[in-house]
Amino acid sequence: MIDLRLLREDPDRVRASQRARGEDVALVDALLSADERRRSSSTSFDQLRAEQRQLGKLIPKAQGDEKTELLKRTRELADAVKAADAEQQEAAQQAQELALRLGNLVHPDVPIGGEEDFVVLEQHGTPRDFAAEGFTPRDHLELGELLGAIDMDRGAKVSGSRFYYMTGIGALLELALVNAAVAQATAAGFTPMITPNLVKPAAMAGTGYLGQVEDDVYHLDKDDLYLVGTSEVPLAAYHMDEIIEANRLPLRYAGYSPCYRREAGSYGKDTRGIIRVHQFEKVEMFVYTAPEEAEAEHARLLAWEKQWLSALELPFQVIELASGDLGSSASRKFDCEAWVPTQGKYRELTSTSNTTQFQSRRLNIRMRDADGTRPLATLNGTLCAVPRTIVALLENHQLADGSVRVPEVLRPYLGGRETLEPVVPARTSPATAAK
């Protein structure tokens, strides 16, 4: 939720932000009108209550006709106060509903445009030339099946499409990634957290996940609880309705959780393998900090993500997302995309967003310093989304015989293994056969 004072003082800035997002600009004027009605009705209510209190002091001293008139006015005021209170509450509810539909203010440096209008900021590492090495790379699913690591067929049998089993070395690889990611986060000063997978509507709405992406969320109607699509949600709501002393900031948490996504609108996209699935594990960084420190903290989150991908020895690029691809809560967002050899392109592995004070206003989280209390800033950053990281690891570190080299950072968590070996005989790749 944005600061309504800013809306009143600079509505053109809010209109420009909505326009950059490709969202409804008329919502700004509707909210301005509702806010004015809320303030006006609140003033009327306060004036009527003040008159009511004043009459309450005069009546005991009045006599005769004067007292009769005062009592008559008291009855009129009681009805007027009741009506004014109802008007005030209705106006406040309308303003609140409209405010919750408004996206965060887009950072002025964010490129304007849609999904394809991102800007590449930097690239790290060089994609392998498999042709020069004399073999055609296998995709992650073929490699996963050779290693006895991924079982899509039984996942579909048991749960449906876009579900899978990680088996044998695949399960160990997943646990290794989680442990290595948590170790890096802990070394950087994050408090590790294992978060609830089900949250109340207030937590989901407070982080901005009801509305723009509501169709992608699993809801349990009987319990009115939501399965989280990221541990960002329970981490953001952890300090809901609290005041945090400024000297405790920043608070940094690294949450590990399963993530559940309906993948609404993804029909036909990434149907092979584990790139786009309904359930996966993730290690998520989350930070509470002072608003004036948010941009510097955003840069630190991106640096930690780059450190992680570099430790995994993956070629990757950093992009800044355009305004229309931000999501309602983000003011600015960076993605790290790893090279996927069999697709010949970079795919998102991590992202980090500066949500400024947008979530803290909705969740009523404030900081207290010498100047009083005010909403703080929140930021989030994916450290390791496990399935996509496994995709990138298998494809980039594969060898001609179907084995996969293990990056050094993961070896202590895999019993010292330097390679993952096939348990199923590998087919000879066309390039190798020709050679």
Q: CA 136, 142, 148 angle in degrees (round to 5)?
A: 135
Active site residue 101: no
Active site residue 5: no
Task: Look at the alpha carbons of 48, 52, 54, 58 in this order and tell me if their dihedral is positive or negative.
Answer: positive
Can you list the alpha helix ranges (DSSP code H) found in 111-267? 130-133, 140-146, 152-159, 169-187, 201-206, 232-237
Token pair in block for residue 78: 């009681």
DSSP state of 410: G
Q: 């310093």: which residue's tokens?
A: 369
Task: Look at the alpha carbons of 67, 72, 73, 77 in this order and tell me if their dihedral is positive or negative.
Answer: positive
Active site residue 351: yes
In 3D, which of 221, 214, 220 has the Cα closest to residue 261?
214
Alpha-carbon span 361 to 366, nearest angstrom: 8
Q: 């009506």: which residue's tokens?
A: 83
Coil/strand/helix, residue 301? helix
Q: Of the residues 38, 252, 388, 417, which is catalytic?
A: 388
Inter-residue contact 182 to 254 (CB < 8 Å): yes
Active site residue 261: yes
Coil/strand/helix, residue 221? coil
Helices and strands per DSSP (H, E), number in the chain: 14, 18
Coil/strand/helix, residue 124? strand
Alpha-carbon span 183 to 62, nearest angstrom: 77
What DSSP string describes 264-291? Answer: TT-TTSS-STTSS-SEEEEEEEEEEE-G
Helix axes 26-58, 11-21, angle to 10 degrees: 140
DSSP state of 111: P
Inter-residue contact 347 to 356 (CB < 8 Å): no
Omega of the bond leading into 422 within 30 degrees of 0 (cis): no
Q: Of the residues 276, 368, 374, 405, which is catalytic?
A: 276
Q: Of the residues 348, 368, 411, 421, which is catalytic?
A: 348
- What is the number of alpha carbons within 13 Å of residue 159 lying toward its C-beta? 11
Active site residue 417: no
Query: Going by C-beta distance under 8 Å and a sequence separation of 6 or more, which residues neighbour residue 430?
Result: 136
Q: Of the residues 17, 351, 353, 429, which is catalytic?
A: 351
In 3D, which of 261, 357, 381 has the Cα closest to residue 309?
381
Residues designated catalytic: 261, 276, 348, 351, 388
